[in-house]
Amino acid sequence: MVTINSQKLIGFVADIFSRAGSSKAEAERIATYLTTANLTGHDSHGVIRVPQYVKWAKEGAIIPDQTIKMVVDTPSLAVIDGGFGYGQTVTPQAVKVGIDKCKANGLSAMTLKNSGHLGRVGDWAEMAAAEGLVSIYFVNAAGSVLVAPYGGVARKLSTAPYCVGIPRPGQGPVVLDFATSIVAEGKVMVASRGGKKLPKGALVDEDGSMSEDPHVLYGPYEADGPRVHAQGKGAIRAFGDHKGSGLALMCELLGGALTGNGATKTDRRFSNGMLAIYIDPKVVDPAHFFDGEVARYIAYFKDSKLAQGHDAVLIPGEPEAATRADRTKNGVPLTEETWNSITATARSVGIDDAAVAKATG
């Protein structure tokens, strides 16, 4: 493992994106969001994505420094086109529109289409929670066909994330954020680069057998080379049998079809689509019942006799908060294969060995 101070990692990654065509502000923003994903323990959405992002930029599949386009703009609804900009640039613009409309009206909805990979959806729930708002997200990834529906073995779904954020005054928000597949595709990538192994039965091969081998998804690959899921014959499985498969379908229909992004299919340009709903508790709850009831019920929820092998009942967001504190203090751990793939990308955009050594020093 290679352990890197988070601020040094942000600076190094920002230099990569600056040299890959982004403005200084965008490069720093992408680097900060990716590193934050690592800090929260979501390595699948962190700096492991750097090689893929830079490849997309070189191919023209993603466009630096984009500004969102408002397609529909009413007091409570925004339909937004991200123009295939970096998700870390166009998504915060779009989320701010939804937040502002909600604060003005008590309730709003926002759709975003044609966004580059928008990263950890929990970032956007945290952004809304910081403004005191409840938020709900249905997301799809058009062009990313990776997941088999319950009862099937063929890829038909993206990993189709779902997220809910609930603010808690004076405390961190409750943020539920997960792929509707057993694992996100990024976690298969992490495992393929020597990181945390996949849970049992996370993948299904074309013959219907369960597997934890990343080659099922990616086919043959070199240790430091790219991971191309189109070369694999198997799929990631939807979580929770029919329930997760059904929720994934709804994410495709709401995050993909309704937004205009398109539900996922093969042979098309990658883009994320997202339906977001924002609710202002101060408007819904003039009696100010909500905050106290959230606090009461969470305390009741956590006060349970523990099952064998568990030392606490956790709520969504608590593992991330603990990991963030630890990694902020002690550094971000990356597998050697992950770091090698990032440094190879850095060298490809003109960063020298001295800068690589400085990042790890």
Distinct helix (H) and strand (E) counts, the chain: 13, 13
Q: Given this model, what pLDDT does residue 194 score? A: 87
Q: Domain for residue 254, yes or no?
A: yes
Are 151 and 6 in a shared domain?
no
Q: What is the pTM of this model?
A: 0.93
Domain that holds residue 37: 2-62+331-360
Q: Domain for residue 207, yes or no?
A: no
Which CATH number do you get for residue 119? 3.30.1370.60
Q: Which residues, given as ranges, of the chain have pLDDT below 50?
A: none
The residue type of 43 is: D
Last residue of a domain, one of 226, 251, 283: 283
Burial zone of 206 (CB within 10 Å; 0-12 exposed, 13-18 middle, 19+ buried): middle
User: Which contacts of 307-315 are long-range, i.e. CB under 8 A and separated by 24 or more positions?
Assistant: 315/174
- Interhelix angle 24-39/87-105, rounded to 10 degrees, is 80
Q: How many domains does the chain fold into? A: 2
The residue type of 278 is: Y
Q: Domain for residue 256, yes or no?
A: yes
Q: Given this model, what pLDDT does residue 294 score? A: 97
- CA pair distance 234, 228, nearest whole angstrom: 12
Q: How many CB atoms lie within 10 A of CB 20?
A: 23
pLDDT tens track for 210-267: 999 999 999 999 887 888 888 999 999 999 999 999 999 999 999 999 999 999 999 8
- CA pair distance 168, 184, nearest whole angstrom: 27
**In this structure, are strands 203-204 and 210-211 parallel, antiparallel, or unpaired?**
antiparallel
- Rounded to the nearest angstrom, the gap between the alpha carbon of residue 271 and the centroid of all alpha carbons in its chain is 13
- CA pair distance 259, 140, nearest whole angstrom: 10
Are 52 and 152 in a shared domain?
no
pLDDT tens track for 304-330: 999 999 999 999 999 999 999 999 999
Are 74 and 9 in a shared domain?
no
φ/ψ of 329, rounded to 5, equals -80, -45
Q: Given this model, what pLDDT does residue 226 score? A: 86
